[in-house]
A and B are shown apart, each in its own frame.
Chain A
Amino acid sequence: MTFAIKVENLCKQYGEQQAVKGISFTVEQGTLFAFLGENGAGKSTTIEILCTLLKKSSGQVTINGFTLDASNDNADIRKSIGVVFQQSLLDERLTVRENILHRGKTYGLSKAQLTDNYQFVSTYLHLEDIEEKKYGTLSGGQKRRADIARALIHRPSILFLDEPTTGLDPQTRQFVWQAIKQLQLETNMTVFLTTHYMEEAAVAHQVTVLKQGKIVAQGTPDALKTKYAYDSMALVFQNAQEGVKFLEENAISYTENQGIYTIRLTSTLQALPLLKKAEPLIASFEVIKGSMDDVFLHIMAEEEVA
């Protein structure tokens, strides 16, 4: 197994404050890796360190086989990574094509190579309709397309995205997200992204949850769901007293909120026999599948207590 990114005991200190407290993880080549956490959890700090923008305080980082900070300018690493920032950082007064080519030239590619690469990203992100427009006149979604194209112009093997869909309308978010997934599948690129949208993390190969500078959970979305999320059923009884009596007689634990009784299930199928039994008592019901949102909320809540 080859690792695109290997992080061991990474720490970052800002004066007295420790933003990242000794985290370790690996990202397998060609996978989609999601970094999850609340604001201020240390996500951005970590991604900035991995992108060579910020010096780490201690720890060991290897990216594409190159040790971080082994050389002064990390040129080997920089040539092999592409970064999409939260903000739009291209020049408003230049066209999309000018923007991408000007920045592409900073990678020391040959003219032919750059033209080839431009052709690739332009086709890939459907830049045909916007490439001659000034970047400043584009909509949010069009800007994001250009941003991603810029990050890919040197054909990096790892793409970092720092909250790439934050602040976008749902349709644009969908488009950006599709583009990222497709790219990862077709080019076998490693994608490392931070997000706070749980449904985005759900399609990643690997999810790591960060809290207050520490990793509090990691694994595949399925493994995390199994551990932290559960299916449940919400019931409303015709007569609440009879309903409670039924639950207690059958030794079913529940929580109640405004007349809605929630029962934890081990699987959605478990609801069937229960519903049959209680049918005459029930006014309405809903079976709820455990989601990544639950994972996130439960991890955060659990660690709060710990």
Chain B
Amino acid sequence: MNFDDTPQEAAFRAEARAWIQANAPKQYEEELRKSSLGRTVLKGANILDVAKAWQKKKADAGWACLHWPKEYGGRGASPIERVIWQQEEGPFGKLSGMFIIGHGMCGPTMMAYAGEEQKREYLPPLASGEKIWCQLFSEPAGGSDVAGLRTRAEKKGDDWIINGQKIWTSGAHYSDYGILLTRTDPNVPKHKGLTMFFLDMKSPGVEVRPIRQASGQSDFNEVYFTDVKIPDSQRLGAVNDGWNVSLTTLMNERMSIGAGVATGFPELFEFCNSLMLEDGPAIEDRSVRSRLANYAVKASGLRYTSMRAISALSKGERPGPENSIGKLVAGSMVQEVAMYALDLQGAAGVLSGPEDAEVAGKFQAMLLRAPGTRVEGGTDEIMRNIIAERVLGLPGDIRVDKDVPFNQIPTKGRT
């Protein structure tokens, strides 16, 4: 048992470190290091521009989408090399936020289902960040139950005509392309009548409306489709086989390892180390220490769970199911941490202005952003179902709509 790199891994790490040292946008390092959930701010710069510039620089030098084949803009690197890169990229990795969906989900789906020519055309600019992609799956009538989606695609000549509405689409407002899951046959059970496409987000009839979140920010959007035309050549997978195609996408969503999930613990520990309470330093208060210790072992448990997965990658093995706990644990933990940090501030915890609030309102921003982390990318409840069914082998839920033609499923008035 050891934490040492193999000689090849060490060589790769040294090369990555040297390149990052020479090329990363150092002027933003401090701000990126300090940014936490709900608040990534770069003073005097547009984060989208900084992120795109960094991604392009990486791509030009062969450091973008490391695990992708070279011909599609990647490096052909091994899974462990990708993890090492993420470790070395450190705070600059926070600039990859807007590319995660494109690189983690759209790219792999294109790689599995698009034609060779399309892959060579679309994947390199996706890798380099010149083009941003989004994923158009969720709908008002299909969130956790994504197969319940209702956006219609109807064949007309060589084209498909799309009508409907998507929701919770991260980054649609700055995306160039998207992958889109639609209903092509409502007369068969819901999983059997779906088809996947990719499309240009600038196509006529696509309207993006940002959603104002409970936190006041706008990361997500509603996307409306009115007679949007998509050529059949942009279909991914067979007609009515979209559910299987979407599983490729979602599988990739959950395979990302080593990126590290935000727990809020390092921020809370630092805060408690400096905070003075009535009776003295917060860190010397027994109840504070007890709470801190409980958060500490969750955070370290997640860290070492991820190291176990990385070890499996290093040996060329497939990581076990342990990593599925990361999002579930971190999501509610970051919310509890934020609430506790505010509790320690007493009445002044209500203040959120950067000038008036403790640590510039870091925990207030975390509090307001946290509910989203327990919902996006699979709710806590869906994550528990996944663990129960795929890890523990418990039966799937009884699905009363499984064998019913989609258009006969009760909708309670929804169309």
| B and A form one assembly | no
Footprint of A on B, CB under 8 Å? none
Footprint of B on A, CB under 8 Å? none
